[in-house]
Amino acid sequence: MLDEGGPGTPVRILLTSRQHDLIDVLQRKEASLARIYYGGLVVLHDTSNPEHIPLAAHAFRELMEKMPGWLDVPMKAHSQSLGSEAKNLACAWSRTVVTSACRNRDGWEGEIDQPLRGFLGKAGGFFAWLTKHRPSRKEEVRRFIRKLDPAGTPMAAPLEDNIVERWQNTREFFTGVCHHRIECESTALRERLELMETLIIERLKPTAAEDAAEIDQLLEEADAQTTS
């Protein structure tokens, strides 16, 4: 079992039954994932640390990022950074402004020269990549969610789409918090944490009755939107 104590003074925190279940599952599957998850819980409970919320969010984001690797699901699109690609394009733009003869004080004029042609090619490649990037990330999450269920239980498309969207949104939320782009209180982080825990537990230990109820709810919402 995971040692809930640590070096020095033992740390004891009160876990929910769902958190106990998740630690147990992760410990049996991959001990390092259980340590990351429990470490995040410990940090979240340590309100004496002024950075406990961003640090806990970092641990939970790490868990979400590493779980696909545990299931041998490649996440190539997730390893590609939009910020990095945009920065490369910005550097190309800065060089083009300096080197292109088409650029003058009044803007751009004349025939397209080699520097400008080169930048337009890079810009075209960037926007083509951007068009494919988010759908590719979504499909990677979909493959992971499917493989997360050891029984391979098929899901209705609306339910699967909902789970994929919630997983992506939760991961992006944790990333924003740990990078200090999103400010939130402990309550908001705990709500997202509960969602992440539920998504994992429901797939690792699916309950047919709960799935059926959620499908019915999604279908009712879809019908309401259609008739409104």
Mean pLDDT of 21-30: 87
Measured distance CA(168)–CA(201) in Å, rounded: 16
Measure the CA angle with vertex 118, ends 114 and 122; round to 5°. 170
Predicted pLDDT of residue 205: 65
Pick the more confident residue, 134 or 94: 94
Please determine, for residue 5, whether its predicted confidence score (pLDDT) is greater than 50.
no
Predicted pLDDT of residue 6: 44
Mean pLDDT of 99-119: 84
114 part of a folded domain: yes
Please determine, for residue 181, whether its predicted confidence score (pLDDT) is greater than 60.
yes
216 part of a folded domain: yes
Whole-number percent of the chain with pLDDT over 70: 76
151 part of a folded domain: yes
99 part of a folded domain: yes
Tally of domains in the chain: 1
1 part of a folded domain: no
131 part of a folded domain: yes
Pick the more confident residue, 136 or 59: 59
Q: In which domain, by residue range, is 74 found? A: 17-227
Rg of the chain over all Cα atoms, to the nearest angstrom: 23
Predicted pLDDT of residue 218: 61
36 burial type by CB count under 10 A (0-12 exposed, 13-18 middle, 19+ buried): buried
Mean pLDDT of 88-100: 84
Residue found by looking up tokens 């996440």 in the block: 75
Measured distance CA(207)–CA(184) in Å, rounded: 32
Pick the more confident residue, 211 or 196: 196
4 part of a folded domain: no
Confidence category of residue 216, pLDDT binned at 50, 70, 90: low
11 part of a folded domain: no
